[in-house]
A and B are shown apart, each in its own frame.
Chain A
Amino acid sequence: MKPFHPLTFWALFSCLAVGVIAADSATLALLAVGGAALIVKFYKQDGPWSASFHWSLIAGLVLISIRALTGILIGVPRIGEVLFTLPRINLPSWLPGIRIGGPVTWERLSSSLHEGLIIATVIALFGAANSVTSPHKLLRVLPSRIYQVGVTLTIATSVFPQLISSIARIRQAQFLRSGSKPRISRIAIPLLEESLARAVHLAEAMEARGFGQSKSQSRYRPINYSLRDLAWIASGALVAVGMVAL
């Protein structure tokens, strides 16, 4: 199968994200995540990036719980059905309008959850875009002017997935040494040393291969849009317009 243009899915998921934010509806947000999951399932790449949808879902869940927690603890009082009451901490008088603790209403909890869900959905949509398009490919279709920025990003983005595999490897080794779950400091030091060495190696390799020597860069096999790409983007835009209209 001919690969998609790298911008196709980014455009599609950006449209969906705009739609989700505009519609501000939990049902639509969940539907969008479901749709994204289907697309990821069918068009996943086999690089280290394919897991980013999975990780973005986890990040989203963490975010929702943090949002809910802060929503319960801190905030402006809201009228409604009181679920339970937390002990209230009195703040000095020069901080009016903010309170910590106090009665928690159903309205406050649900609005916090709702906000969290919308943000988490947007994160999941970008995670999905990453899963189906390698960021390296995306960088290659960006205009030459921002190519320099692109390479900095290349280093950052190449080191990141390797970082995840290094964490797992070091954690396992430490786990076997001590027989208990290792503390962060035990992992951080070997990890930091390795990541620094990696970044330096990559920068060295790029320099040795002539990166930055010529003002303009040529492109091997420029990537063009096909009808299929346009169809996907158009359908994404239609859904977004529909969501906004609702």
Chain B
Amino acid sequence: MITFSRVSLIYPHSTTTVIEDLSFEISEGEMVLVMGHTGSGKSSLLRLINGLVPHHTGGILGGEIIVDGKSTRTTKPGELAGIVGIVGQNPLATFVTDIVEDELAFGMESLNFPPDVMRKRIEEALDQVGLVPLRQRSIATLSGGEQQRLAIASALVMHPKVLVLDEPTSALDPIASEEILAILHRLVHDLSVTVVLAEHRLERVIGYVDRILLIEGDGASSIGEPSEILKKTDLVPPIVRLSRALSLEEIGTSTREVRKLTEDIRRDLNDIPRPVFKAGELSLSLTDIVAKYGEKEALSSVTLELHSGEITALMGRNGAGKSSLIKCAVGLLSPASGSIVLGERQLDEIAQKERSRLIGYIPQEPGDLLYLSSVAEECARADRDNAIAHGATLASLHQMLPTISPQSHPRDLSEGERLSLVLAIVLAGSPQILILDEPTRGLDYEAKNRLMALLHRRARIDGTSVLMATHDVEIVAEVADRTIFLAEGEKVADGPTLDVLLASPAFAPQVAKVMSPRPWLTVGDVLRSQGSLEE
């Protein structure tokens, strides 16, 4: 279905190739995962499949790409509209109309389909993704998962042979992401659609894919069965780290396989529980917070307490009220009732300048904070803003990420590098409280490990209170001491991470699923019980 032969790609005004001498073949009805570090050219590779690269972006393409018998060199993306459907990273940015049904009709209207064909196909597509009840809804009112399903449906109405998805689950909570993957799985198995997707959170997709295409930073690449490819890379999901750590003879990629291989471990090991962290004093407390947007109640009587040295995770489905709670905590949203106390004072009695010094905030789009033209300038600005020694911010950034060049433009950084830069800037003021909104979106495992190490160091050594809203159960399992669960604006769980995550099957991390019913969340927990982990 898709053949790449000796493909190389170089963008205009660039001196390095994005893709070098890449050859592979994907056959009909296969589901293939493209993986690699951030900035390794995954997105470019996906967009090569329907010719958006280089027809739309410019650049020089070497070699030949054949999709369903057509060369993308001579065929324009629009002519491939009936063959390749593409779903971008941020579906909301790619919608053309504002009603669900109209959006589905858009592609077919452009190709002049007769109305009766359109009606039939729209019906089919709505059924396939389960959006029938929402057909007349305004797109702006859909949740993240529904928007992602709509984007898939608007590709499906064209009856494509290939479906290309760029990080389809990165913005979604675990339940919505399961739904998306189940839909893709059905398309592959029932309709023999070929699916090619890129994703960083391998733990979410690894059980579904037939093969993996691994792109390494140096231009090398390989394609093969998941168990084979995962043997030779560092970018592996927790389940593979578990197989490695326990030196199992095989690398399992599904919970069922690894459960079979670890029966004796679950039976024989004694529990050595996680060392309980004794949190310091209360640093920020939100009591009985009620927040409203117009008539709609976003938070109903939620209480949240942050202690120094403790990392707290805030979880829940899209729209559960996580962002509203965070906005209250940083003072962007004034609650309709309830009190917010920082140290010994009410938050609204503290001047904004001082508040910004006490509470560090990392927004969902870290780039929002950056406006200068180089990393060095941003760091120097942070030194001046916080009246600290010149070069201190840059030094702490280098400690986090030695490879970053001070001259590079913030726009050209990868997601992980940008997050490190923003963290260095925000932490330059040594805030007592650090609040992060979805920090792991778009990060590869390496960048995530860096983030986890930093948060751990900040909390334990400097005594910072950390609050992190996230959908990423794996990072919660690794670093959070306490987890709070919101649903429909109410707090439904608040306790040690172990108890909260084990109580909810949908939000259980991979290791917990494998090791159930034993109370282990991470590879580290298992190793500790085995006695081979040194603290």
Contacts and interface: CB of A to CB of B under 8 A. Distances in A.
A220 B126 CA distance: 15
B93 A202 contact: yes
B108 A218 contact: yes
A6 to B, nearest CB: 12
B96 A205 contact: yes
Contacts of B32: none
Given A169-B368, A202-B96, A220 B88 contact: no
Interface in A189-222: 189-190, 193-194, 198, 201-222
A93 interface: no
A172 interface: yes
A205 B94 contact: yes
Interface stretch (B21-29, B168-176, B353-361): B353-361
Contacts of B361: 173, 176-177
Nearest to B76: A207
B439 interface: no
Nearest to B80: A208
B115 A170 contact: no
B367 interface: yes
Contacts of A215: 112
Contacts of B47: 204
B68 to A, nearest CB: 15
Interface stretch (B99-107, B212-220, B446-454, B456-464): B99-107
A185 interface: yes
Contact of A179 (B98, B138, B354): B354
B369 A177 contact: yes
Contact of A208 (B86, B99, B119, B351): B86
Interface stretch (A8-16, A41-49, A116-124): A41-49
Contact of A178 (B97, B370, B385): B385
Interface residues of B, number: 68
Contacts of A140: 97, 102
Interface in A126-180: 134, 136-137, 140, 154, 158, 162, 169-170, 172-180
B411 A193 contact: yes
A220 B102 contact: yes
Contacts of B367: 190, 193-194
A186 interface: yes
B65 interface: no
A182 to B, nearest CB: 9
B371 interface: yes
B90 A201 contact: yes
Given A179-B353, A190-B370, A212-B78, A219 B94 contact: no
Contacts of A136: 96-98, 102
A148 to B, nearest CB: 11
Nearest to B357: A179
A209 B52 contact: no
B140 interface: yes
A214 B368 contact: no
B114 interface: yes
B118 to A, nearest CB: 5
Nearest to A217: B109
Nearest to A155: B96
Given A46-B141, A169-B363, A202-B96, A208 B78 contact: yes
Nearest to A135: B98
Contacts of A185: 371
A213 B332 contact: no
Contacts of B81: 208-210, 213
B399 interface: no
Interface string B60-97: 00000000000000001111111011101010011111
B349 to A, nearest CB: 15
A189 B371 contact: yes
B511 interface: no
A46 B138 contact: yes
Contacts of A203: 56
Contacts of A214: 110-112
A40 to B, nearest CB: 16
Interface in B315-370: 330-332, 351-357, 359, 361, 363, 365, 367-370
B440 interface: no
A204 B113 CA distance: 21
Contact of B98 (A134, A201, A210): A134
Contact of A186 (B93, B371, B426): B371
B140 A209 contact: no
Interface in A16-60: 45-48
A179 B330 CA distance: 11
B425 interface: yes
B308 interface: no
B148 to A, nearest CB: 14
B110 A209 contact: yes
A208 to B, nearest CB: 5
A9 B93 CA distance: 28
Given A198-B93, A201-B94, A210 B110 contact: yes
Contact of A173 (B97, B354, B369): B369
A207 B56 contact: yes
B93 A209 contact: no
A170 B369 CA distance: 7
A211 B78 contact: yes
Most buried by A among B88, B109, B154: B109
Contacts of B411: 193
Given A134-B98, A201-B88, A210 B140 contact: no
B355 A179 contact: yes
B253 interface: no
Contacts of B140: 46-48
B197 to A, nearest CB: 16
B52 A204 contact: yes
B354 A213 contact: no
A206 B94 CA distance: 8
Contacts of B363: 169, 172-173, 176
A189 B85 CA distance: 33
A177 B368 CA distance: 10
A217 B102 CA distance: 14
Interface of B: 47, 50, 52, 56, 76-82, 84-86, 88, 90, 93-99, 101-102, 105-115, 118-119, 122, 138, 140-141, 154-155, 158, 330-332, 351-357, 359, 361, 363, 365, 367-371, 385, 411, 425-426
6 contacts: A177-B356, A178-B385, A204-B94, A205-B94, A211-B107, A222-B115
Interface of A: 45-48, 134, 136-137, 140, 154, 158, 162, 169-170, 172-180, 185-190, 193-194, 198, 201-222
Given A47-B140, A211-B78, A214-B110, 20 more contacts: A158-B96, A169-B365, A173-B368, A176-B331, A176-B363, A177-B426, A180-B352, A204-B47, A205-B88, A205-B95, A210-B78, A210-B107, A211-B106, A212-B110, A213-B110, A213-B111, A216-B112, A218-B115, A220-B108, A220-B119
